[in-house]
């Protein structure tokens, strides 16, 4: 597909939107990761790469390095972060930073977080309409001997939870305390997919680079955070007209029948297990 003066690499508006949404969440990612998260029905990453290049022409994306496997990594400029907020439907103040400079070292942790988000989302290829053929298809010739199948079987990705808009990364959850010494937990990724029964899922990605004591400390802070109660001033479903406060875990929405608790997932990004229990 030929380009235009505005978008010389010939990208479509849909794919450019996919790139902005994915980078607005992941902050830094390869074209292949963006494709698998947002448009896995594309046979390759060429369309995504062209969209990254077209957005770079307008000052929205940039590439500062490559992953350790050689794939070029893309990120957003401050202007691109604002554009991504519009695509995701979020306030610009909630978008966080743009991970400037993360690609200089290959961004190994960010790549592991991206793969975790892609696996949990399990985006399915969008159905396409068959294109009518203009010429009749010739009948296949009868083979003289059985043919050996050579076509590779496509990898089937099971459906997951939510979409790219359901995620946020590097989310800080503050614990009770004074403003200068307030402890906090920083989740690598947060999924909000109430339609799938997951009002809040906090994801911690472990690449086996931290000591067990450090991980244990993180879980202790998560446990403390889960015990925090906040006031919910929504009125109860009674005849009373005044709202009644109730205690619920933070950042959750309580459906009818009870208050859901946030969940936490530890993703191991290496095949071997830790030796300690």
Could you please state the CATH topology (level 3) that the domain comprising 13-104 is classified under: Arc Repressor Mutant, subunit A (1.10.10)
Across all residues in the chain, what is the average pLDDT? 79
In tens, the pLDDT along 151-178 reads 444 567 788 999 999 999 988 888 776 5
Quick: pLDDT tens for 78-113: 999 999 999 999 998 888 887 777 777 888 999 999
Q: Any idea which residue has 């990453």 for tokens?
A: 45
What are the sequence ranges of the domains in the chain? 13-104, 164-268
Alpha helices in the chain (DSSP H): 13-26, 31-38, 46-57, 78-88, 108-121, 212-226
pLDDT, position 179: 62
Residue in 82, 110, 92 with CA at minimum distance from that of residue 20: 82
- DSSP-derived secondary structure letter, 271: S
């Amino acid at each position: 597909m030929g380009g235009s003066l505005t978008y010389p690499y010939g990208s479509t508006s849909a794919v450019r939107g996919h790139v902005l949404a994915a980078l607005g969440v992941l902050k830094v990612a390869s074209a292949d990761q963006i494709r698998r998260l947002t448009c896995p029905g594309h046979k390759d990453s060429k369309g995504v790469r062209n969209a990254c290049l077209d957005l770079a022409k307008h000052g929205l994306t940039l590439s500062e390095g490559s992953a350790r496997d050689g794939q070029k990594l893309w990120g957003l400029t401050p202007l691109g972060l604002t554009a991504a907020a519009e695509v995701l439907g979020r306030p610009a103040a909630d978008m966080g930073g743009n991970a400037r400079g993360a690609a200089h070292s290959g961004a190994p942790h960010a790549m592991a977080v991206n793969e975790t988000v892609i696996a949990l989302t399990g985006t399915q290829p969008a159905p396409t309409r068959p294109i009518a053929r203009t010429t009749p298809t010739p009948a296949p010739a009868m083979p003289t001997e059985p043919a050996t199948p050579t076509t590779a079987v496509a990898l089937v990705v099971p459906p997951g939870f939510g979409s790219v808009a359901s995620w946020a990364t590097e989310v800080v959850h503050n614990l009770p305390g004074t403003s200068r010494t307030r402890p906090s937990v920083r989740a690598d990724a947060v999924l909000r997919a109430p339609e799938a029964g997951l009002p809040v899922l906090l994801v911690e990605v472990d690449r086996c680079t931290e000591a067990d004591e450090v991980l244990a400390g993180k879980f202790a802070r998560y446990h403390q955070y889960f015990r925090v109660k906040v006031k919910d001033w929504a009125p109860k479903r009674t005849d009373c007209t005044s709202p009644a406060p109730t205690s619920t875990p933070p950042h959750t929405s309580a459906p009818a029948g009870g208050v859901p608790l946030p969940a936490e997932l530890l993703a191991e990004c290496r095949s071997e297990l830790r030796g300690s229990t």
